[in-house]
Amino acid sequence: MFSIKDLTIKAQDKELIHNLNLTINDGEIHVLMGPNGTGKSTICQTIFHHPAYEIANGSITYHDHLLNDLTPTEISRLGLFLLNQNPIEIEGITNAELLRNALNEKNDTPLDIFKFNDELNEVCKIIDLPKEFVHRDINYNMSGGEKKKNELLHLFILKPSFIILDEIDSGLDVDALKTVGEALKKYYELYHPSILIVTHHNYLLDYFSSYQVHILKDGHIVQSGSKELAKQIEKTGFEANIINDNKKYE
Amino acid sequence: MTIKNMNKLSLVGETSNLQDTNAFITINEDTTLNLSGKLTLYNYDTHNYNLELNLPSNTNCYLNLVKILTKDNYLNLNIGNDNNFTLELLIINEGNNNFHLNINISGDNNNVIIKARIINKNSKSSLNLICDGKVLTNTKDNNFIEDLKGLVTNTASITIKPNMFMDTNEVLANHLVTISSFNPDELFYLTTLGISLKEAQKMLINAFIYSIVNPIFKDLLNEEVIDIE
Ligand SMILES: Nc1ncnc2c1ncn2[C@@H]1O[C@H](COP(=O)(O)OP(=O)(O)OP(=O)(O)O)[C@@H](O)[C@H]1O
Ligand SMILES: [Mg+2]
């Protein structure tokens, strides 16, 4: 189980998230939606302890490990994976080198380089990325869509059990959306991870049969629901839905 | 390609003339090189000899120079007319040292690119790079680019003093100097993928080094361990 309790996040002394609560059981898919600038990426980065954000209150736990005091390395090794909204480029380090080092450090047994190469080729086919990308520098000079697929390459090789996808669908063309949707579905069927999907659209969600939706506004979750909520939001926007919902309580 | 199957050239004597050469050169004392034609040169310098390069005219030269710096020394570059010269220099510094890079452009129509990457071997080291670029009076159509970067990996210090003396307006000069530590976003990214902080820093040091150094130097550089603190 992954759980966020009473989480307050600050950056530069400004409170960005206030009293956030979220529980995701193993194998569940949760979707986080919300207007621009409400703190969705902030939450994703804070789970991994990005130095820009401070946990002012509350706790984040995964499988009984308190993440608050762990380093990004330790958090990753518990099985968490973050796919960034804007993946950074690192010139001079190739995907292959990155993944080889990550696996070598994590595992006690040395990496079987033949198996590793075969697997890389296999994954490239699944995500429709030319094999040469394995030897390209991390996201360097890649197009927006290629970067997202490149990050999926990392995901498939590292095999996390808890995945955070921060707008993986932004910047993808129709064919790429289809490839990414199918790849994620395949990954889900193979490994049954928990997934937190941050998105503004329903397209990728349609690849999954069930999921829960949460709407983030003013630093906390204002509404939770199922599939229909995500559909409704995409159709009529946040304002209409949240206001309607408030009226229910009046 | 490795150094083993590279054309090797040992320079003995104070002055040598090099023409149309593609070689890994070794130098064993203070040396003046007169260059002409088309040259691609690699040099790995652990002895810190002073070097003077003369390009009187019509020379097209690329020099990839790795210096394991353990004492003060200099590189003088004298450029005449109609030359293309690119220096890609890596300095791995050990101890408190000054390195002087003097570039004199006395003629017309040259393209000169100086790229340097600097790193200290350990926290007890400090390096002062003084880069004097002079373009003399009455010269024209010169293009002069300096791109100097230091990566601070520990408590050691790096200073870079780029001085450009332009006695003419007819020159296109550009200089870029940055001294920085590891990029926190890059460290964050690598560690979120399960790489330890130490290993992430090592990877970024390698990326920095090989952004300027040809892979043929790999075997030689593997022995240079850089302390991270
Ligand atoms: N390091 C920071 N320092 C100060 N303010 C920040 C920092 N990071 C984010 N913010 C602010 O916090 C708010 C939330 O930003 P965040 O990127 O989390 O939004 P988001 O919900 O992901 O939006 P989008 O849908 O546009 O991706 C914004 O107002 C942003 O300007
Ligand atoms: Mg965002």
Strands, E, within A137-241: which ranges?
Answer: 162-166, 194-198, 212-217, 220-225
Q: What is the rounded distance in angstroms from the CA atom of residue A154 to the CA atom of residue A133?
A: 12
Q: What's the distance, Cα to Cα, between the start and end of chain A in Å?
A: 34
* Nearest residue to B195 (alpha-carbon basis) of A146, A93, A64, A121: A93
Alpha-carbon gap, residue B217 to B214, rounded angstroms: 6
Name residue A129's amino acid: L
Backbone angles phi, psi at B120, to 5 degrees: -95, 145
Nearest CA-CA partner of A220 in A25, A28, A36, A9: A9
- φ, ψ of residue A243 in degrees (nearest 5): -65, -45
Give the SS3 label for residue A216: strand
Contact B36, B62 (CB under 8 A): no
Closest CA to A160 of A26, A41, A69, A59: A26
A174 Cβ below 6 A of ligand 1: no
Contacts 24+ apart (CB under 8 A), A234-240: A234/A200, A234/A201, A234/A202, A238/A33, A238/A34, A238/A35
Q: By C-alpha distance, which of B43, A135, B213 is closest to B222?
A: B213
Q: Is B195 close to A90, i.e. CB distance below 8 A?
A: no
Q: How many residues does chain A have?
A: 250
Nearest residue, CB atoms, B189 vs list A88, A91, A106: A88
CB-neighbour burial class of residue B1 (10 A; exposed 0-12, middle 13-18, buried 19+): exposed
- Round to whole Å and give the CA distance between B190 and B210: 18
* Residue pointed to by tokens 């130097």: B217
3-state secondary structure of B213: coil
Using one digit for the tens of pLDDT, what is the confidence trace for B59-73?
999 999 999 999 999
Residue-by-residue pLDDT tens, chain B, 229 positions: 677 778 888 888 889 999 999 999 999 899 999 999 999 999 999 999 999 999 999 999 999 999 999 999 999 999 999 999 999 999 999 999 999 999 999 999 999 999 999 999 988 899 999 999 999 988 999 999 999 999 998 888 999 998 888 877 788 888 899 999 999 999 999 999 999 999 999 999 999 999 999 989 988 888 777 877 6
Contact between A127 and A156 under an 8 Å Cβ cutoff? The reply is yes
The candidate with the shortest Cα–Cα distance to B87, out of B38, B158, B147, is B147
> What are the chain A neighbours of B201 within 8 Å (beta carbons)?
none
| Residues on chain A touching B193 (C-beta within 8 angstroms) | 76, 81, 98, 102, 154, 158
Q: Cα(A174)–Cα(A202) distance, rounded to whole angstroms? A: 13
Q: What Cα–Cα distance (Å) separates residue A63 from each residue in A4, A66, A194, B192? A: 12, 8, 12, 18
Sheet containing B38-45: order of strands: B8-11, B22-27, B38-45, B60-69, B84-93, B111-120, B142-151, B171-180
pLDDT tens digits, residue range A153-166? 999 999 999 999 99
pLDDT score at B115: 96
| Identity of the residue in A82, A88, A92 whose CB atom sits nearest the CB atom of B210 | A92
Distance (Å) of CA A99 to CA A139, B7, B21: 13, 35, 40
Amino acid (one-letter) located at B37: G
**pTM assigned to the model:** 0.91
Candidates A137, A132, A173, A169; CA nearest to A152 is A169
Per residue in B160-195, pLDDT (tens digit) is 998 888 877 788 888 899 999 999 999 999 999 999
Structure tokens at B173: 């000069």
Beta-carbon separation of A92 and B196 below 8 A: no
Distance B135 CA to ligand 1 centre (A): 48
Say how far apart CA A162 and CA A77 lie, in whole Å: 11
A38 CB under 6 A from ligand 1? yes
- Rounded to whole angstroms, how far apart are CA atoms B206 and A91? 11
Pocket test for ligand 1, best of A7, A9, A38, A197 (most atoms within 8 A of CB): A38
The SS3 assignment for A229 reads helix
Q: Count other Cβ atoms within 10 Å, centred on residue A162.
A: 20
Neighbours of B142 (CB within 10 A): 24
Ligand 1 pocket: which of A14, A16, A36, A44 to mutate (most atoms <8 Å of CB)? A16
pLDDT attached to residue B164: 84
Residues (pLDDT < 70) of chain A are 240-250
Are A91 and B185 in contact (CB < 8 Å)? no
Q: What is the pLDDT of residue A248?
A: 42
**Predicted-assembly ipTM surpassing the 0.90 threshold:** yes
What's the pLDDT score for residue A109?
86
**Contact assignment for B203 to A84 by CB distance below 8 Å:** no
Q: Taking CB atoms and an 8 Å cutoff, what residues of chain A touch B195?
A: 73, 98, 101-102, 105
Report chain A residues touching chain B, CB-CB < 8 A: 48, 50-51, 71-73, 75-77, 81-82, 84, 87-88, 90-93, 97-98, 101-102, 105-106, 138, 154, 158
| Ligand 1, atom 18, residue with closest C-alpha | A39
SS3 sequence of B87-155: EEEEEEECCEEEEEEEEEECCCCCEEEEEEEEEECCCCCEEEEEEEEEECCCCCCEEEEEEEEEECCCC
Nearest-by-Cβ selection for B195 from A82, A91, A105:
A105
Q: Which of A221, A222, A223, A219 is nearest to A11 (CA)?
A: A219
